[in-house]
Amino acid sequence: MMGVGVTVTTVFLTRFSTYLQSAGHGIQGIGTFFTIYASSAFVFRILTRQWSRTVGRHRMILSGLVGQALGYCLLPFVASDWHFILPAICCGWGHALLFPAVVSLGSGAFPG
| Local confidence band at 102 (pLDDT 50, 70, 90 cut-offs) | confident
Q: Residue 96 in contact with residue 64, Cβ under 8 Å? A: yes
The pTM assigned to this predicted structure is 0.85
What tens digit of pLDDT does each residue of 2-53 get? 677 777 777 888 888 888 888 877 788 788 899 999 999 999 999 999 998 9
- The predicted pLDDT at position 87 comes to 95
Query: What is the mean pLDDT of the segment spanning 94-102?
Result: 88
Q: Which amino acid is at 64?
A: G
In the chain, where the domains are located: 29-106
pLDDT at 112: 61
